[in-house]
Amino acid sequence: MASLKKKFSHKPMPTGAELFMRGKTRFARWTDGRGQKQTARVTTAMDGAARVVIESDVWYAKYTLASGATVERTTKTTDKDAALAVLRKYTAEQDRIRAGIMSVKETDTAKQGHRDYAETVKAFKDSMLARGCSKDCATEWDALLKADGAAMGWRTLRDMDRPGLEQYLAMRATTPKDPKKPKTVMGARMHNVHVTAFTAFGTWCARQGYVKVNPFAGTVKRDERADRRHIRRALTPEEIQRLCHATLTRPLAEAQKINRGPDKGKAGAKPTDKTKDAAIWLGIVRSTFYKTLVLTGLRHGELRSICIGAVRLDDAHPHLILEAKNEKARRGAQIPVPAGFVPELKDYLRERRARLVGQRGASVVDFDATVLNAAPLFDVPANMSRVFQQDALAAKLAVTVKAIGKKKGEDCEVERIDTRDGAGRVIDIHALRHTYGTMLARSGAPLQIVQKAMRHSTPTLTTAVYLHLGLADVGNAVNHLPTLPAQSPLELAAELAVIGQNPDAPNPPPTAGVACQKPALIGISSSKEQERGTTSREHVSSAIDAGFQRMAQKEMERDTGFEPATSSLGSWHSTN
């Protein structure tokens, strides 16, 4: 039997409470901390102390579950009529469960529709971090989901729907983010990032029981190949050499520039020996960092995570150990190091260790090996994009251009570094990974090996995005095709003529050389042909036709077991 009631709780007598009688019942009157007067019935506890009986403001519903158990549940309302409506809703849910219309799980899921959308997104982010997902990815998705949800007016999980998301993304694809820049519409790649984030969020909500099914399942992605905004290219060996040389010399050149006064930016400063040494070492670190990226295919964030203890240069196959937590795919890997690069990397590692223990140029002395091995192999900033642009500019792989930017909230003309080539392709620090894959492919390595070296999930990603092969590469591959025996068209016609005259005779071997010695094929007619008034060209033509006819007949007999009618072939010859 369902019913409504209010709960009562016993609390100590408030300080300064005034006792009075109402009939035969004692009451207490006092002023609470908010300045409001309160009145409550007084009772005596088992220890003899007087306590006040506090009645709850909200109504509680008492009803029987489909399983037979009796529960009490708050209606969250102080109005009795509203509480009765909530009680009817509770009992109706149990009646549907008893009738088999809904399950208990489905009922619980339906109740989650009132969950706050933003709070659920935050819980999703915490779940990603707990499962070991990338912190950057979790942060990006959290901001993306919240911003898009707020733009679509989603307050609870009940508001989520795929049509609304698709309509919002379609609007973003046609409406520029900045009205003054028409190209600031959402591209295909960013569209797919949004779809991936919402699909993952919907799947997680379904697993948690917050929704019955993923509301974003089936959201269509766009073709990134048809709308690529940031197309990278591979660097040539000559460009890599220029980049490493510029990177090596730029820090010292910057240290020798004047920082203030009318000659600011010009060479002429005299840095101390300590400053020179630090600048030279900085150039070595960055140059070796770029070389390692090119020769190992590591992402710059992955290479930054590798510590000294993860370097194995004395093994039979020199390699770097990339821990799973630092890899993009979270699998972990052993990264091979080319044998030709091992000596240079050893020299760098020796100097790196010496500088860490404070004795430059000397061997490692007594030092905590644990601390030393945990030190990063390369001490470079997390955001190397700007540094790479400056190095590319010094290597003359980029130029400065005038662009419209913002300064103190106002539009103004600023200088920016442009790394695009004439075809609109760009180079950045991730382009070094593209260079690694392209060099592997040009070396003749099979696609399966290139894919494994790049640590890609599919060969399609390797070939479609990371391998930049041009006409020269295809031409070099074509030049390695086997040379076929040379045979002139006249020789081929002679063979077909022999087959046409004697179908059962074996095919004669190809004649060496270009010239053919058969008179009928060099325009000299035989005596019988002259008597018939036919030319050698007609004889060759009829012989070729007879050869094709016989070959077609044998082909059909082999495939079907039936001899073809010759009338059709005869009519074909008669019309030709």
Per-residue pLDDT band for 478 (boundaries 50, 70, 90) equals confident
Strand order in the sheet with 70-74: 3-5, 60-64, 70-74
Helix (H, G, I), strand (E, B) or coil at 156: strand
Residues 379-389 have pLDDT tens digits of 999 889 899 99
pLDDT of residue 22 exceeding 60, the answer is yes
The b/e string for 344-357 (b: 16+ C-beta within 10 A; e otherwise) is ebeebeebbbbeeb
pLDDT of residue 485 exceeding 80, the answer is no
Residue 143's pLDDT is 95
Highest mean pLDDT among 34-38, 102-106, 242-246, 257-261: 242-246
Extract the tokens encoding 177.
């983010």
Residues 111-132 have pLDDT tens digits of 777 889 999 999 999 999 998 8
Helix (H, G, I), strand (E, B) or coil at 457: coil
Residues 500-532 have pLDDT tens digits of 655 555 555 554 444 444 444 334 344 444 444
Per-residue pLDDT band for 535 (boundaries 50, 70, 90) equals very low
Q: What is the mean pLDDT of residues 285-293?
A: 96
Residue 245's pLDDT is 95
* Residue pair 208/226 in contact by the 8 Å Cβ criterion: no
Residue 223's pLDDT is 87
Distances from the Cα of 105 to the Cαs of 112, 120, 124, in angstroms?
11, 19, 21
Neighbouring residues of 432: CB distance < 8 A, sequence distance ≥ 6: 235, 290, 293, 294, 300
Per-residue pLDDT band for 15 (boundaries 50, 70, 90) equals confident
**Residue, of 225 and 530, whose pLDDT is higher:** 225
**pTM metric for this prediction:** 0.62
Residues 159-209 have pLDDT tens digits of 999 999 999 999 999 988 777 777 788 989 899 999 999 999 999 999 998
Task: Break the chain down into helix, strand, coil percent, rounded to 5.
Answer: 50, 15, 35
Alpha-carbon span 148 to 186, nearest angstrom? 13
Extract the tokens encoding 327.
């890899």
Q: What is the mean pLDDT of residues 417-436?
A: 92
Q: What is the mean pLDDT of residues 394-422?
A: 84
**Residue, of 223 and 545, whose pLDDT is higher:** 223
Q: What is the mean pLDDT of residues 140-153?
A: 95
| Mean pLDDT computed over every residue of the chain | 83
Helices (H) and strands (E) in the chain, counts: 20, 13
Per-residue pLDDT band for 370 (boundaries 50, 70, 90) equals confident
* Residue pair 106/77 in contact by the 8 Å Cβ criterion: no
| Residue 197, amino acid | A
Residue 260's pLDDT is 85
Residue 498's pLDDT is 65
Phi, psi angle pair for 458, to nearest 5°: -135, 150
Alpha-carbon span 57 to 34, nearest angstrom? 17
Helix (H, G, I), strand (E, B) or coil at 42: strand
Neighbouring residues of 6: CB distance < 8 A, sequence distance ≥ 6: 55, 56, 58, 59, 60
| Residue 389, amino acid | Q
The alpha carbon of residue 8 and the mean position of all alpha carbons in its chain are separated, in whole angstroms, by 57
pLDDT of residue 534 exceeding 50, the answer is no
Per-residue pLDDT band for 34 (boundaries 50, 70, 90) equals confident
> From the CA atom positions of the chain, what is the Rg in Å?
41
DSSP-derived letter for residue 182 is G
Phi, psi angle pair for 11, to nearest 5°: -130, 155
Per-residue pLDDT band for 317 (boundaries 50, 70, 90) equals very high
Phi, psi angle pair for 364, to nearest 5°: -70, 125
Per-residue pLDDT band for 466 (boundaries 50, 70, 90) equals confident
User: Any idea which residue has 């200088």 for tokens?
Assistant: 415
**Count of CA atoms in the C-beta half-sphere (13 A) of 265:** 1
* Residue pair 142/125 in contact by the 8 Å Cβ criterion: yes
**Residue, of 360 and 99, whose pLDDT is higher:** 99
**Residue, of 485 and 231, whose pLDDT is higher:** 231
